[in-house]
Amino acid sequence: MPPTAWTSTSERPRGGGWRGITGYGYGDCMGTAVILIVIIVVLGLIAVAQYNSLVRLNVGVDEAFAQIEVQLQRRSDLIPNLVETVKGYAAHEKDTFERVVNARAAATSAHGVAEVAAADGQLTQALRGLLMVAEAYPELKASANFMSLQEELAATENKVSFSRQYYNDNVRKLNATIKAVPGMWFAGIAKVTARVFYEVADPGARNAPKVQF
């Protein structure tokens, strides 16, 4: 740590015995000044480090949210192809298709963490419904196109849920830091406030890492 290294070298003049023998008045005055300067500089360095780490945590949360959006977009892009493929074998399951298409449209127009999370939950459920429908059609399940889509979807579902998990871990870290000393003293200066968790309404989705369609 640079601060400690700095302190130990700059403290040497007052700590060592050699200044003691130079006499009282002069040594005292100089000593106090040096001590004060050292304290101010150390406090300044601590403040800068705190400020930087808060900013870094805050940017980390932004980046984690961007990652969620990237993965949600990937999933969105997979849906038309998936719906078309299932339609080819199960054309009459109109309700299911409609629900997926509507949920996808809602997810595309969502903004902000809470709204995106809600739309994400809806789409996750709708997709689960679609895959449940697919279960009933053996020819569909056996088609090469559907099988490759299935891997893509399983991977994307995992990526979405891991990006949620990573985002929430980052929010937890940030919120814990600005609630405790000394983070709370610097949160205002760094303009960092507590962030909202990404909470998906679908209870099954939160422990989704082991998606097995």
Tell which one of 92, 111, 191, 210 touches another protein (CB under 8 A): 210
Measured CA angle at 207 (ends 164, 125), to 5 deg = 80
- Residue 19 or 206: the one with the smaller Cβ distance to another protein is 206
> Where in 141-200 is the site for another protein (CB under 8 A)?
148, 151-152, 154-155, 158-159, 162-163, 165-166, 170
Query: Are residues 213 and 153 in contact, defined by beta-carbon separation less than 8 angstroms?
Result: yes
How far apart CA 120 and CA 202 sit, in angstroms, is 9
CA-to-CA distance for 66 and 72, rounded, in angstroms? Answer: 10
Task: Determine if the peptide bond prior to 182 is cis (ω within 30°).
Answer: yes
Residue 125 interacts with another protein (CB under 8 A): yes or no = no
Structure token pair of residue 90:
């199960």
Shortest spacing between CB 212 and another protein, in angstroms: 7
Binder of another protein out of 50, 58, 71, 96 (CB under 8 A): 71
Which residue, 68 or 190, has its beta carbon nearer to another protein? 68
Backbone Cα Rg of the chain: 29
Q: Does 64 bind another protein (CB under 8 A)?
A: yes
209 binds another protein (CB under 8 A): yes
Which residues lie near another protein (CB under 8 A)? Answer: 60, 64, 67, 71, 148, 151-152, 154-155, 158-159, 162-163, 165-166, 170, 207, 209-210, 212
